[in-house]
Chains A and B, each alone.
Chain A
Amino acid sequence: MPDNILFYLLFSTQLILLSYYYPSKIIKRIRLVHQLCPRETHPRLYSQANVNYDKGLQKYRLANAIILVLGVVLMFFVGYWDSQSVGKTGEAFPIFFGLFQFMPFFFMEFLGFKELRNMRNNDQRKIKKADLKPRLFSQYAPMNLVGLTIASYLLCIGFELYIADSVWQMKTLTIIITLTLCNLLYMGIIFWHLHGNKLDPYQSSDDRRRQTKIIIKSLLITSIATSVYFTGTAALQHFQLERFEITLNCFYMLIIAVVGVGFLLKEIRVEEINFDVYKADYKA
Chain B
Amino acid sequence: MQISINIDDPVPLFSQLMTQIKAAVVDGHLNAGDALPSIRQLATDLQVNNKTVAKAYQLLERDSIIQTKGYRGTYIHPCAKENCGVDLSEEITRTLTNTIAELKDAGATDSEIRIAFGNVMNNRI
Does B80 sit within 8 A of A, measured CB to CB? Answer: no
Q: How far is the CB of B119 from chain A (nearest CB, A)?
A: 41
Nearest CB of chain B from residue A71's CB, rounded to whole Å: 42
Q: Contacting chain A: which of B45-53, B57-65, B89-97, B108-116?
A: B45-53
A132 within 8 A of B: yes
Chain A: interface residue total (CB-CB under 8 A): 17
B18 an interface residue at 8 Å Cβ cutoff?
Answer: no
Number of interface residues of B (CB under 8 A): 25
- Interface 9-mer from A194-202, A242-250, A274-282: A194-202
- Secondary structure at chain B's binding surface: helix, strand, loop or mixed? mixed
B77-119 vs A, Cβ < 8 Å mask (1 yes, 0 no): 0000000000000000000000000000000000000000000
Using Cβ atoms and an 8 Å threshold, which residues of chain A touch B24? 132
- Flag if A198 contacts B45 (CB, 8 Å): yes
Instruction: Give min CB distance, B120 to chain A, whole Å.
Output: 38
Instruction: Establish whether residues A130 and B45, one from each chain, have CB atoms under 8 Å apart when the complex forms.
Output: yes
A178 at the interface (CB under 8 A from B): no
Is B68 located at the chain interface by the 8 A CB criterion? no
Among candidates B8, B37, B48, residue contacting A132 with C-beta atoms closer than 8 Å: B37
Asked whether, in the complex, the Cβ of B37 is within 8 Å of the Cβ of A133, the reply is yes
From B35, B46, B47, give the contact of A133 (CB < 8 A). Answer: B35
Chain A: minimal CB distance from B118 (Å):
37
Within the assembled complex, what's the spacing in Å between the Cα atoms of A197 and B45?
7
> A129 an interface residue at 8 Å Cβ cutoff?
yes
Report yes or no: A128 in contact with B47, Cβ–Cβ below 8 A: yes
Which residue of B2, B29, B48, B73 has the most chain A CB atoms within 10 A of its CB atom? B2
Contact of B4 among A127, A134, A135, A198 (CB under 8 A): A127
Complex Cα gap A120–B44 (Å): 14
A134 is contacted by which of B5, B6, B7, B35 (Cβ under 8 Å)? B35
What are the residues of chain B within 8 A of A195 when measuring CB–CB? 38, 40-41, 44
Chain A residues close to B by CB (< 8 Å): 126-136, 195-198, 205, 284
**Seed contacts A126-B6, A196-B44, A284-B2; 14 additional CB < 8 Å A-B pairs:** A128-B7, A130-B3, A130-B41, A131-B45, A132-B2, A132-B36, A134-B37, A134-B38, A134-B41, A134-B73, A135-B41, A195-B38, A195-B40, A198-B44
